[in-house]
A and B are shown apart, each in its own frame.
Chain A
Amino acid sequence: MSDTTLLALFEDIDPAAEAIDKLHEMGIGDARINVISGIPFTHKMLGRPHPWTNVSRIALGGAAAGFVVGIFLNFGTPLLYNVSVGGQYITPIPPGLIIVFEMTMLFALLSTFLGVFLDSFFPNYRPMEYVPEISDGKIGVFFKVPQDEQQKFSDALNQLGAESVQPTEARQL
């Protein structure tokens, strides 16, 4: 029997969190549930596992790369083309710190931005499961259930205050 994806829409966070608990009780694991919302609810509020993100690691990697680039620009390039002026140091440290700082921050910020794109698979213009009511503040709980048990889950979530529980299909956003 194939699975079908149901979308339960909730007005508030409390019934949505209760519905997720109920789904767990009914044997639906976290991997088969997804929640979408118009504001960032934490995993604790929803009773969901902590979502993994690589953004901070990517940002750190970017900062390290920027640090290296800054070192190269300030301490490497003058040695590639050595211009001696008035006995001044070729690679002085104090001005070098400024370049290293700026390059570190630039790369850290760029990689943080890039990290969001990589982790969220942005841009993604393929059809996806979504309803516009989400940006009106509704909370959507997607879950996959065997097709023949659809009614059982709908009834359970309707009892918990779901505004609607319906099969959903990917659509063009």
Chain B
Amino acid sequence: MAVTSGYLGSEKAHTEHHEEEHDPRESLMYDPLPRGVMNDMVMESMHTTSWKFWVVLGVLAFLVATCFFYAWGYMIAEGLGVAGVNRPAYWGVFLVNTVFWIGISHAGTFISAILRVFKAEFRRPFTRAAELMTTFGLIQAGASIFMHLGRVWLAYWMFPIPNARQLWPNFHSPLMWDLLAITTYVLGSTMYLFLPLIPDLAMARDRSTGWRKTFYRILALGFRGTEGEWRHLTTAMNIFAFAIIPVMFSVHTIVSWDFAMAMRPGWSSTVFGPYFVLGALHSGMGAVAIVLVIMRATMKHMDYFIRKEHFDALGKLMMIVSFAYAYFFFNDYIVQWYGGDKWTDTLLHWLEEGPMAWMFYQMVAFNIVIPFLTLWNKRIRTTPWLLALIGGLINVGMYWERYIIVPVTLSINRMPFTWRLYQPNIEIFLTIGTFSMFLLFYMIASRLIPLIPVWEVQEGQMVHSLRKVGKAQVPTVSEFE
């Protein structure tokens, strides 16, 4: 029997298929510009501000002054009674915010460290934008913990300093582990942000005058780019890339243990650790998508550095993380659902049919259903505003998830006479304050430090080339290290 081989489909479809073939030069790595030009583009993006920038900055500064500092000061003066936390939900929005911001902070390390270790080249232009989210997110997480403390001036009791009573902190407490893990992560991620920034600060120093010159001169530490300096820097960055990954995993796992170590319905779960880590990455990826879209839309020349390929890659990551999140969510849910514990059943029924059911269903829809239904489509992934919208919905969903885990779960316990739905009070203002401060810091940073790691982009462009294989130009990557 004769077999005819040929293109499956019409001639027209065949032609269209060829026309749609990806041109490697659409990729940043295969579309190099001279380093000086890229430097100028990044410097111009930092120096260009419109009146809209200052208006938004002013509004955010006002919100930080009122909703963060004034509201917190008021709460310190009046006491925690002005907050909505009360029996049985002693942990309210402050801890929701803490978990949320720690989650956001995971994206920076993931993109910068894990993708660096695995040499995922698309990471190069936006590692710093993601790392900044880590640092600024952790600042908000730390602030939220201090808000939750109430008597914030006694925070030093947590540190291992022998006090007047010679009493050391209890290192068996998950809250103590939290303090050490978050401290390690804050310091580690800030140093990891700073190290690769040094060459770009030196670049900015070479192109600045006035106060900016002094600012960059101090921060660049005298970096010139000698062989020794590069060697020390790249060695340190490699150590950081490997070492910060287990720290990142430990931080959110320990945050999950704040809950999972307690024998409470809804909390006592052995998969809470990885479930929290995946949730953190889920919200972090969504936040990176939002930041990149805003950067590209509002900062000059960013369309050269941040391209469709980056949104595409980020969208794929978001989809994979969404699958993994769904797996852990279901794993956590089904075991509790099957377990038959009376109070856990009550909690689950309450989530499914109670007054907070809308939040539960939105959480499932935003975190699992919408990413599943949309992110498989390349056109959606490469449409920046759509990806940002999905990232925003994921973050709403992840915020609800933390809200359900903290105050909603606390509202249902083994003592029905104490059941009471938590109603946030001053927490709402303080939440607005932390979000405003995060955005304010980010906006200020976008005009002070190069958000694009130019030297890493140039290094990437140098190792990428097009090789002719037959009649095709094939993208090729070599390794410097």
Contact = CB atoms under 8 A, between A and B. Distances in A.
Given A36-B224, A98-B177, A109 B244 contact: yes
A56 to B, nearest CB: 6
Interface stretch (B115-123, B202-210, B264-272, B298-306): B202-210
Interface stretch (A21-29, A123-131, A150-158, A159-167): A123-131
Interface string B186-208: 01100110110001001101110
A73 interface: yes
Given A115-B236, A120-B232, A173-B220, A99 B226 contact: no
A103 B227 contact: no
Contacts of B229: 120
Given A99-B171, A106-B183, A38 B225 contact: yes
B250 A34 contact: no
B188 A105 contact: yes
Given A35-B226, A51-B228, A109-B184, 18 more contacts: A34-B226, A38-B199, A40-B230, A41-B227, A41-B230, A42-B480, A42-B481, A77-B160, A99-B176, A99-B177, A103-B180, A106-B184, A115-B236, A116-B232, A122-B222, A135-B39, A137-B36, A173-B202
Interface of A: 34-43, 45-46, 48, 51-53, 55-56, 59, 73-74, 77-78, 80-81, 83, 88, 92, 95-96, 98-99, 101-103, 105-106, 108-110, 112-113, 115-117, 119-126, 128, 130, 132, 134-137, 173
Contacts of A36: 224-227
B243 A123 contact: no
B254 interface: yes
B219 to A, nearest CB: 9
Interface in B439-473: 455, 458-459, 462
Interface residues of B, number: 63
A173 B205 contact: yes
B250 A120 contact: no
B420 interface: no
A98 B254 contact: yes
A56 B239 CA distance: 8
B468 to A, nearest CB: 21
A102 B192 CA distance: 17
B35 A77 contact: no
Contact of A119 (B205, B217, B228): B228
B246 interface: yes
Interface string B413-429: 00000000000000000
Interface of B: 34-36, 39, 160, 162, 166-168, 170-172, 176-177, 180-181, 183-184, 187-188, 191-192, 194-195, 199, 202-203, 205-207, 217-218, 220-236, 239-240, 243-244, 246-247, 250, 254, 455, 458-459, 462, 480-481
A101 B250 contact: yes
Contacts of B206: 132, 134-135
A136 B225 CA distance: 12
A43 to B, nearest CB: 7
7 contacts: A83-B167, A102-B180, A102-B181, A116-B195, A119-B228, A120-B229, A120-B233
Contact of B243 (A95, A112, A137): A112
A80 B168 contact: yes
A136 to B, nearest CB: 4
A137 B458 contact: yes
Shortest Cβ-Cβ A-B pairs, 8 listed? A137-B35, A124-B222, A132-B206, A136-B36, A40-B230, A77-B168, A135-B203, A122-B221
B174 to A, nearest CB: 8
Contacts of B236: 55, 59, 112-113, 115-116
